[in-house]
Structure 1
């Protein structure tokens, strides 16, 4: 039997290893480990959840990769490119491409009896993936949008609906200015809300046929093609493949194709998300430092209070290494208990937040209405393992204090 571990367990079971003086210090040390680990787990879970939710929302509003014209006339109205069946078939045949869909846009204005609103009309066709819109639909229904017939129906955001006092079934008049003013009457078939202000403040969704006609484009011309990839990790690779096929090449109307990833389209958002990783590293370093130093103080107090025991062990023939292993084993037991409580607190918070959305956020600022959490099992295990290893390594140095305790002097202390 390992006698060093046996003694460490006896010290640990002796009212948590402490006498009257060391008991508070030991409990503070365990609390430091528990709080530090809980904060680390929660911080990582929140950052991972936040990054994934915001990224998925940005991708849902557009797609993983956009193929548009090189010559952009305006911020939201691009020169069209040919997006017929042959082009879509080539894109669909590329490895790791899971879906291809067309879109077109047209800036205009909504006018009601007592108000008006600038907007961007986005046209989509029958192949469009409606999952994102369906998940964010608040009222009404999504019509069967196509590229062959005008539906005269539109989806509006909750922001625009509230601003213009619109509800499902209402008619709204939209106006488009080119050489002359063109008007379209559309019926509100549904109201959505993404909490992404740049989208909710502007976009109306209708059929591709209507937008193509408003732009006076040919039937096979579109504003761009949105491409979804099967694995986000392969985003750059797929985009390079598309660029190899289309970039700097013209369609039959003489317009050049241009491929961009969602990270290139919205660089400011993804740069902001990358900065969150820096915050996580700062939190991890601070929490590991706090937990480690509280354990160091607790171990030093225990060693000083067990001076008599150390002297007796050395008098019986135990060397400094063996005594150090006793106190390091004892520290591992304390760290393990602190980590247990830290995991309980962190997992409880994550579960409650995931199901009940206890902590709310301002969606106008953070794009989500509550703090998102996503617990990655691999990251959770890594945090626990690294916390245990780093905490024990930080105690190796202070454990050398036992070498300065001499049996002849220590056994007289009681």
Structure 2
């Protein structure tokens, strides 16, 4: 075996440029796939994290009649006395120890009007001191956050402010739907501007103190949902099972993001096909290299046969050469791919507003998320595909007729 390795190394070194280019083909293909895998992982991770922090939480408690698509303000569709429910949950020490925050939220459809401009938005009634509002507080770009007793103030996104050419201190008119189906109008003052760096969310969400939102929509002491964040996402199912109650529906983040999770699974399946296509293309370079080597070394193969080398020995020699090219290319590809991923982990890829309204929240930039498991899987796939592709030239060399080979035929 040592003799075959030495001979294989000498054969590859005989045409060093071609060997290096062949290994580089694998390296570039693997590095590209590492980048694709890390960006895909980053995109899905970012989308799920943003959805949890901004929309779904880890768990939500809703009325048994609540339907996402309706955003109904009828009392029968809302959670009555949400503060009592929260207090009951927090009274159980084992559950409370796992909860980061539990806060009521109210959703209402509205129209912002500023002179000649108008914009449909969703009013999000919140309890301002709640920890769940950290994404908005940390994302303030100007002004101040609303106070719980502010009856005339709202916080709007920087994106909405730019669209309507508004700033902190300006007045806006809100037309808001109420629980009895009426529409009421009131002027509010912009207290602050925020950004979550998620255009699809920011372009349609304004913040209002919960008590004011309840008052203007005639939903006193009611909320659309109780928004719960946990200290550990892994505890979601256990906490959800513990707080199941009669008359309410308890939804976990995975249940509220089913479309996103299904899309992720579909994307992962599709990417396997993409990986194979890219690797097969790069593996053909190895095949071409070995086939050229077979034709260039026909006489040498004949001499080896005359010296007693069997077909399996010649085949093993060419497979050893393919292994060296594959291992060298994969090793360099991992190093190259890691540096490329590091760059996009820090810099990201700017895509602007790619968020979709059907359950996806994507930031303004997508950042790669490197995972060792992806590298191991891709390296194994690259090696297997390369070795399978190399079987043909190895088989071709092994079955040359010794006499014809000695004459270079």
**Residues 297-335 of structure 1: CA deviation (Å, up to 9, x unaligned):** 322221222222222233333333332222212112212
Measured in 1, the distance between the counterparts of 2:381 and 2:406 equals 38
Q: Give me the TM-score of the superposition, normalised by structure 2.
A: 0.82
Q: Output aligned runs, 1:10-409, within 5 Å.
A: 10-16=10-16, 23=18, 26=19, 29-62=22-55, 63-72=57-66, 74-75=70-71, 77=73, 78-83=77-82, 84=84, 85-89=86-90, 93-94=94-95, 97-125=99-127, 126-143=129-146, 145-146=147-148, 149-150=149-150, 152-176=152-176, 178=178, 182=184, 184-194=186-196, 196=198, 199-219=201-221, 221-232=222-233, 235-236=236-237, 238-242=239-243, 245-246=244-245, 249=246, 256-357=247-348, 359-365=349-355, 367-409=362-404
Structure 1 CA distance, aligned partners of 2:53 and 2:92?
19
Q: Which stretches in structure 2 are left out of the alignment for 5+ residues?
A: 357-361
User: Offset at 1:232?
Assistant: 4.1
- Structure 1 alignment gaps of length 5 or more: 250-255
Q: Which residue of 2 aligns with 1:253?
A: none
Contact 1:160 1:200 in 2 (8 A): yes
Cα distance in 2 for partners of 1:114, 1:261 equals 42
Cα pair distance change 1:115/1:397, threshold 3 Å: closer
**1:120-163 deviation per Cα after TM superposition (whole angstroms, max 9, x unaligned):** 322222233233224543333434x44xx336432201232123
Q: SS in structure 1 opposite 2:65?
A: coil
Aligned residues: 392
> Contact 2:29/2:279 (CA < 8 Å) preserved in 1?
yes
Q: 1:300 to 1:116 in 2, by over 3 A?
A: closer
Judged with a 3 Å threshold, the aligned counterparts in structure 2 of structure 1 residues 76 and 333 are, in CA distance, closer, same or farther, namely farther
Q: Deviation at 1:267? A: 4.4
How many angstroms does 1:294 deviate by? 2.8
C-alpha displacement of 1:166: 1.5
SS of residue paired to 1:45:
helix
Q: CA deviation at 1:114?
A: 3.9
Q: Is the 1:108–1:174 contact (alpha carbons within 8 Å) kept by the matching residues of 2?
A: yes
Contact 2:346 2:367 in 1 (8 A): no
Residues in 2 aligned to 1:160 and 1:342: alpha-carbon distance in whole angstroms: 45
Give the CA deviation at 1:413: 3.3
Partners of 1:139 and 1:190 within 8 A in 2: yes
Secondary structure of 1:129's counterpart equals: helix
Q: Is the 8 A contact 2:31 2:340 kept in 1?
A: no
The alignment's C-alpha RMSD in Å is 3.2
Q: Distance in 2 between matches of 1:286 and 1:90?
A: 56
Q: Give the TM-score, by structure 1 length.
A: 0.82
